[in-house]
Amino acid sequence: MSMIAVFIGRLFIAVIFVVSGINKLIHVADTNAMISAAGLPDGLAIPTGLFELIAGVCIALGVATRLFAILLAGFVLLTILFFHREFTDPLQAMAAMKNLAIAGGLLCLFGYGHTRWSYDALRQRRRDELAKHQAQSRLTEAELRAAHAEGRAEAAGAPVPPRKPFWRR
């Protein structure tokens, strides 16, 4: 049940950034004006919108979740610093608290990392399966080498000590 909550929470957080990124890309002039008013350089609207859109989609799909969660948490905290620093204004204080909560959710997502129903989890499962297969292959090869060595020793006439089964070694 908790994995379902993590999945839904991941989608909810992702929607915030996908919608925000799309809005920034649709309203480039307005976004540039807002960025300039905060004292930041012009021309950041498109890169910011693309970053939010791409990061939101990656969070939703579970691709590089931990990386994008920490990047977005830093991004959201920076928006508090640049855009919502007037805490005496109730609207700015509320926006700062909202962004602080979003950053907290992103840090939780960073902590969970590879959750079920994500590309990261699928990739980790595949890596584990490959590692298990490789370990089994190495064990089989070692047993074959031991059997060949026994055969050579028998052919040479040397006494061969009894072998323990591989599960008791």
Q: What is the per-residue pLDDT for 161?
A: 64
Secondary structure of the chain as H, E, C letters: CHHHHHHHHHHHHHHHHHHHHHHHHHCHHHHHHHHHHCCCCCCCHHHHHHHHHHHHHHHHHCCCHHHHHHHHHHHHHHHHHHHCCCCCCHHHHHHHHHHHHHHHHHHHHHHHCCCCCCHHHHHHHHHHHHHHHHHHHHHHHHHHHHHHHHHHHHHHCCCCCCCCCHHHC
Q: What is the per-residue pLDDT for 150?
A: 78
As given in the structure block, the two tokens for residue 120 are 């990261």
Give the Cα separation of 66 and 111 in Å (integer).
Answer: 8
Q: What is the per-residue pLDDT for 124?
A: 80
Tens digits of per-residue pLDDT, 137-157? 888 888 888 888 877 777 776
Q: Whole-model pTM above 0.85?
A: no
Tens digits of per-residue pLDDT, 30-40? 999 999 988 89
Report residues of the chain scoring pLDDT below 50.
none
Q: What is the per-residue pLDDT for 52?
A: 97
